[in-house]
């Protein structure tokens, strides 16, 4: 299995910095595609779906966890 490490890195970075706002993996995938100039050539639906699967895997394997309310958690964001 190959991984999109740029996308994984983006998701981890955004998890670290998402205090007070919802974690939005599909939007982060779109942003990454835009920054890399891939928006016109990449299958964005596939990239967005991949981001959602990565979110689930990161959570299931303990790489991210729900952010505590005392740290800006709102039930929709994470910490590393």
What are the Cα distances from residue 47, in Å, to 3, 63, 70?
11, 20, 32
How would you write the pLDDT of the chain (80 residues) with one tens digit per residue?
789 999 999 999 999 998 889 999 999 999 999 988 876 666 888 899 999 999 999 999 999 999 999 988 888 999 99
Q: According to the model, what pLDDT value does residue 19 have? A: 87
Q: According to the model, what pLDDT value does residue 40 have? A: 66
At residue 78, φ and ψ (nearest 5 deg) are: -135, 170
Q: According to the model, what pLDDT value does residue 7 have? A: 96
Q: What b/e string do you get for 41-76 counting C-beta neighbours within 10 Å, with b at 16 or more?
A: eeebeebbebbeebbeebeeeeebeebeeeeebeee
User: How much is the pTM?
Assistant: 0.87
């Amino acid at each position: 299995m190959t991984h999109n490490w740029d996308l994984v890195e983006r998701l981890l970075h955004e998890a670290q910095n998402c205090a007070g706002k919802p974690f939005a993996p599909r939007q982060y995938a779109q942003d990454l595609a835009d920054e890399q100039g891939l928006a016109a050539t990449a299958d964005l639906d596939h990239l967005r779906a991949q981001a959602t699967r990565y979110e689930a895997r990161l959570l299931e394997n303990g790489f991210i966890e729900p952010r505590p309310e005392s740290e800006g958690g709102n039930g929709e964001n994470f910490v590393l």
